[in-house]
Structure 1
């Protein structure tokens, strides 16, 4: 593993990077965190499974707390005892995938029907 990925980023730089790169994430108690709001338990499970897949593929595992209509993802590099570039890389990938709205792209994918709560699952920012 590259040494840069193991280097702990100072708190002031973490906050600046979050503001610039991941504005919906926050630094709290030494972790970078993001709470995703969902429309139901189905949406909550979909977010958890998405985060789980990405984390396993990246071999970097977040802590996850969930309830009926929300999921909180927390990242820290335990081996480095702080926030590293690995945390930012995984947070960006999670954000990209969970917040993806194919209906806003012109690529032939329409996305879930808008306005029909039977199909709603993530409350997009």
Structure 2
């Protein structure tokens, strides 16, 4: 990927088009955003730490707001001051990791039970 493509700043119409592949993300206040609902404080902390790890590994630093039972992530690329392909790539990786459900894969990893006593994150399905 060339520097020019990587740092291309998307315009609002282009952003809306690209967000069709990220259905729970939306564009507001100069960033692409996503809200996640969790089952409570411990789950919120796990999600925030997971997102933090992914962002640090990508060397991309979002705004994160957290409450007892949820977080909101806002992604924008600071150096060119806009929404770039970096934001969409990181949003896709966050979705992939946060919504990984190993129990649906049929392997040896069971995944979190759907029992309220073991609730973790509110999956969008």
* Band of TM-score, shorter chain: over 0.9
Alpha-carbon separation, structure 2, partners of 1:61 and 1:46: 17
Q: Give the distance between the partners of 1:92 and 1:31, measured in 2 at CA.
A: 15
Q: Secondary structure at the match of 1:74?
A: strand
**How many pairs are equivalent?**
123
1:1-80 mapped onto 2 (5 Å cutoff): 2-19=3-20, 21-80=21-80
Whole-angstrom CA distance in 2 between matches of 1:82 and 1:96: 23
Give distance in 2, aligned partners of 1:33 and 1:116: 27
Residue 121 (structure 1) aligns with: 120
**What is the CA distance between 1:116 and its match in structure 2?**
3.7
Distance apart, 1:59 and its partner CA: 0.3
Instruction: Classify the secondary structure of the residue corresponding to 1:71.
Output: strand
CA positional deviation for 1:15: 0.4
Q: Give the TM-score of the pair, scaled to structure 1.
A: 0.94
TM-score, length-scaled by structure 2:
0.94
Q: Secondary structure at the match of 2:90?
A: helix
The structure 1 segments of at least 4 consecutive aligned residues displaced by more than 2 Å after TM superposition are none
Q: Which moved more, 1:65-74 or 1:104-113?
A: 104-113
The Cα shift of 1:68 comes to: 0.2
Query: Post-superposition shift, 1:6?
Result: 1.0
Q: In 1, Cα distance between the equivalents of 2:110 and 2:41?
A: 23
Hey, what's the Cα distance between the residues in 2 that align with 1:45 and 1:64? 12
Give unpaired runs (5+ residues) of structure 2.
none
Gaps of 5+ in 1: none
